[in-house]
């Protein structure tokens, strides 16, 4: 009887334990195939938290011949982490390894099976001891280049679409531009990791998505929806296809952006978007409080933020300053207010941003306020909170900081990255309290122009 009672208790506790979080592995078998010196040396496995609460990787056990690395050991609700595996077999021939991964949502480990066939010795004998490439570093070309298949289809009929122009972006920058063939797909060499895809075709609305790609996830499908407002004759389509394909910059300028609520003076509309002359615009000192929590790693958010910040960096002048404070589980000054001409340093900080951890939004605002207050200029001093809208850790008393520094002439604005309606309402309240504005970035066209327009509105010398 005691044994039965003990079994029931263990069963109930295990069910409760499992319900806290559910880490779903995209695959538990990795086949490296035939490994040669020019073969990709590692694979990534996506692990998604589909549960209701935060979940953790507790530990893992792997053979000596296998190197492993986690992007992070904690996954928030609806977020993802990456487990990177690199086999280093000691001799040629077939290999087979097992890795046991212990997680907070299971009593038993998840077993990953690694197999392949090493066809030739590595050029560098030390390569056998090589660790996985770090997530913050750039892996070697052999570890990143592989064939990615990109398909474009009609959203309704699911038929392949030809002549679609597909643009690829990574880390906020364009890395490729391709035209689909008659079969509606192309194969291209791309690096591993998150890639942002933006596609256009005459008669269709632009389609965009961000997807993590690797040797396992090596196919991307883009669905395009017909634009019912356009009626195009066949001869007009043929004429368009004969013309040189437009650069992404031109395409995004033609696409309408998400409606912004801030007022744009009529005189400002007559000044081209890429002009930021001192005669028309005051000097600016902008400090971005950047949300790099786990939720920013979902979907397109991180790429949209990086693209937007990189576009702004091209506009800055020598009299301007820009700085960055990040917040996730902790807060950090990534770059104190720095001259706008230090573009290499500024762009490096932006491109190194990685998502992971909780959301210490309140502490981020406090640190941002203190940082910019030390470097005030004669001109516009603006704090921009750039976030997807979540404030779930240490967010108390940040309203007091906003009111305090507003009295010093510091404007607090909010840039919402794919905010929901409820999140937007909260962000607007913060912006109103700080005497600033709320700007929404929902898609790539917004990232191209919305932040620049906001900066121009704030600094325009309204004559």
Q: Is 71 exposed, middle or buried (0-12, 13-18, 19+ CB in 10 A)?
A: buried
Q: Which residue has the higher pLDDT, 112 or 54?
A: 112
Domains delineated in the chain? 2-139 (2.60.40.10), 145-250 (2.60.40.1120), 256-459 (3.40.50.410)
What pLDDT does residue 74 have?
87
Cα separations in angstroms, 184 against 148, 181, 187: 14, 5, 11
* Tokens (6 digits) for 212: 């993590």
pLDDT digits (tens, 9 = 90+) for 39-58: 667 888 989 888 888 899 99
What pLDDT does residue 22 have?
86
What pLDDT does residue 290 have?
93
The average confidence (pLDDT) of the chain is: 83
Cα separations in angstroms, 31 against 100, 187, 445: 17, 21, 39
pTM: 0.73
What pLDDT does residue 4 have?
53
In the predicted structure, residue 19 carries a pLDDT above the cut 80:
no
Q: Which of 206-215, 257-266, 280-289, 418-427 has the lowest mean pLDDT?
A: 257-266
CA angle 85, 304, 52 (to 5 degrees): 60
What is the Cα–Cα distance from 166 to 154, expressed in whole angstroms?
A: 14
| Per-residue confidence band for 153, with pLDDT thresholds at 50, 70 and 90 | very high
């Amino acid at each position: 009887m005691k044994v039965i009672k003990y079994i029931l208790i263990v069963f109930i506790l295990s069910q409760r334990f499992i319900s806290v979080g559910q880490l779903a592995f995209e695959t538990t078998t990795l086949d490296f195939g035939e490994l040669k010196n020019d073969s990709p040396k590692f694979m990534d496995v996506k692990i998604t938290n589909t549960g209701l609460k935060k979940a953790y990787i507790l530990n893992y056990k792997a053979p000596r011949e296998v190197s492993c690395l986690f992007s992070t050991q904690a996954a928030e609700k609806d977020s993802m982490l990456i487990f990177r595996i690199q086999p280093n077999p000691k001799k040629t021939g077939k290999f087979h390894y097992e890795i046991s991964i212990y997680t907070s949502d299971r009593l038993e480990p998840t077993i990953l099976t690694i197999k392949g066939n090493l066809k030739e010795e590595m050029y560098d004998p030390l390569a056998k001891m090589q660790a996985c490439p770090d997530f913050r570093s750039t892996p070697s070309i052999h570890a990143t280049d592989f064939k990615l298949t990109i398909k474009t289809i009609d959203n309704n009929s699911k038929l392949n679409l030809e002549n679609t122009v597909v643009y690829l972006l990574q880390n906020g920058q364009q890395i490729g531009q391709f035209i689909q063939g008659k079969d509606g797909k192309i194969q291209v060499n791309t690096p591993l990791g998150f890639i942002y895809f933006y596609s256009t075709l005459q008669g269709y609305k632009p389609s965009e998505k961000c997807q993590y790609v690797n040797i396992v996830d090596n196919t991307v499908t883009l669905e395009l929806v017909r634009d019912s407002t356009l009626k195009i004759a066949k001869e007009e389509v043929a004429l368009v296809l004969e013309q040189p394909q437009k650069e992404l910059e031109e395409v995004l300028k033609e696409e309408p952006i998400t409606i912004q609520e801030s007022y744009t003076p009529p005189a400002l509309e007559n000044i081209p978007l890429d002009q930021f002359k001192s005669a028309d615009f005051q000097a600016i000192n902008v400090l971005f409080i950047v949300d790099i929590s786990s939720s920013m790693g979902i979907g397109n958010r991180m790429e949209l933020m990086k693209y937007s910040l990189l576009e702004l960096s091209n506009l800055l002048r020598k009299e301007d300053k820009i700085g960055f404070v990040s917040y996730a589980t902790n807060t950090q000054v990534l770059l104190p207010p720095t001259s706008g001409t230090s573009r290499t340093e500024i762009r490096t900080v932006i491109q190194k941003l990685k998502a992971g951890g909780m959301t210490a939004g309140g502490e981020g605002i406090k640190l941002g306020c203190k940082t910019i207050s030390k470097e005030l200029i004669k001109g516009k001093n603006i704090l921009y909170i750039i976030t997807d809208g979540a404030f779930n850790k240490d967010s108390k008393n940040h309203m007091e900081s906003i009111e305090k520094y507003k009295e010093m002439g510091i404007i607090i604005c909010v840039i919402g990255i794919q905010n929901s309606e409820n999140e937007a309402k909260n962000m607007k309240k913060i912006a109103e309290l700080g005497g600033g504005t709320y700007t929404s970035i929902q898609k790539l066209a917004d990232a191209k122009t919305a932040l620049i327009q906001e900066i121009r509105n704030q600094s325009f010398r309204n004559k």
